[in-house]
Amino acid sequence: MIAVLFIMVVNLRGVKESGKFFSIPVYIFIGSLLLLIAEGFIKKMTVPHPSFAVYGGAATNIVPVFIILKAFASGCATLTGIEAVSNGVRAFKAPEAKNAGITLMWMAIILGVLTLGIAYFADYYKILPNENETVLSQIARTIFSKGIVYYIIQFATTLILILAANTSFADFPRLSSIMAVDRYLPRQLSNRGDKLVFSNGILILGFLSALLIVIFRGDTHSLIPLYAVGVFTAFTLSQAGMVKHWLAHKGDGWVKGILINGVGTVTTAVVLMIIAFEKFEHGAWIVLIAIPALVLLTKKIHNHYLAMAEQLSLQCGTESKEYEHHSVIVPISGMQQAVIGAIKYAKALSDDVAAVYVCIDPVETKKVKEKWDKACMGAQLIILDSPYRSVIEPLVDYIDEVRNRYKEGVITVVLPEFVPLKWWHHLLHNQTALFIKGFLLFKKGVVSTSVPFHLRR
């Protein structure tokens, strides 16, 4: 949880700052693994026939074809994260596409060298998976024993596993901003913060990440299936989308594009089916339900924005008529300075001004009536009975009555509010005005406005 918070805060500082900070553990990790592979080859040449010690558990009797498929799926899982380059092309310096391509090439080379090197020495030293120790730790312990280099590799691996989450923090906010611009996600996700990063996306991702950790209690065996199935579902859909794109537009090199993306679609779909089948009971079923639900949600959001844009457009052709009457209603809870200021403001808006007081206590109502007559406010006072001691319901009924009286008119509800000096002083007072605003927000032809009275020390 602390690691998620730390990554979130660093990303909020900006893309350049987070990149510089997170690059140090990456360089340490890559350097330590290259040293591990180099030392492994040196020892192989100097000690050609080592005495093998198998650290892992015994192999189980599994159908060979399934082993190959599972190995293929696991190997493809090591490629996840590279796709962040394609979604973040706009974050590179000009020429963006060229620099992104160079970065992708170097990532592929480094990943290939490290993966092949680790796999080779895992096979060479006959190391099998172990629940109590990772394969990388076993290889490092075999080559370096438990010296300082071994612990550096362990420390670097820990850091890189934590920072692996940074791929999502760097990529999700940018991807969600693209979808928000296309009106498939809330438009707030397209807003940039002070550091020119998509702060809302980073904050939402941090919250959801922390929520997943709490729900699954940080168990990687439960979280990894969610990640793997989600990633390869996205890979399959994106590759299939590119095939559809080539078929629809048929630009330069479209046949080559269909072949590449077609093979990619089949490959990632096979991996997806293998992982979903193998990890179905371990949590993969959640993603298989969640992704269609999220797709449906994005379509609902898109339809909402389209409907809203259509209704707000000036091309709708609806005639706008002037209001025939303007009624101003001032709900009051007693006679005090804030009410006087609100009445003065209401009289400046219209000649039809009515103050409304809801009678809950007859004795208090009599006092309010006497103070009102004495103040000579120049507006009528309407007293509404409330047998069930509700304030909002009688007020809303009265507003509806005025609305029916002037169907082509408009009603302004002026709410007198006093503003305390300290923010926490609000907790000491009723927020009736806030509730009234909430009710009136959904009433057509009714406008609410506040007249603040600022309290002094």
Would you tell me how many other CB atoms lie within 10 Å of the CB of residue 255? 9
- Superfamily designation of domain 326-454: HUPs (3.40.50.620)
Question: According to the model, what pLDDT value does residue 262 have?
Answer: 93
CB 199 within 8 A of CB 193: yes
Question: According to the model, what pLDDT value does residue 218 have?
Answer: 72
Give the residues across from 447 on adjacent strands.
412
Question: According to the model, what pLDDT value does residue 182 have?
Answer: 92
Question: According to the model, what pLDDT value does residue 73 have?
Answer: 66
- d(Cα 136, Cα 33) in Å, to the nearest integer? 9
pTM of the model: 0.65
Question: According to the model, what pLDDT value does residue 50 have?
Answer: 57
Question: According to the model, what pLDDT value does residue 446 have?
Answer: 93
In the block, which residue shows the tokens 């690059």?
23
Which residues in the chain are classed under CATH 3.40.50.620?
A: 326-454
Per-residue confidence of the chain (457 residues) as pLDDT tens digits? 788 888 888 878 776 667 777 788 888 899 999 999 999 999 888 876 555 555 555 444 555 666 676 676 666 666 666 666 776 677 778 888 888 888 888 888 888 899 899 989 988 888 887 777 888 899 999 888 888 999 999 998 888 877 777 777 877 888 899 899 999 999 989 888 766 778 888 899 889 888 888 887 777 667 777 777 877 888 888 899 999 999 988 888 889 999 999 998 998 888 888 878 877 776 677 877 888 899 999 999 999 999 888 887 777 656 667 888 999 999 998 888 889 999 999 999 999 999 999 998 889 999 999 888 888 778 899 999 887 778 888 999 999 999 999 988 999 999 998 888 777 776 776 778 888 888 888 888 899 999 988 887 7
Question: According to the model, what pLDDT value does residue 14 have?
Answer: 73
| Rounded (5°) CA angle 296-245-266 | 80
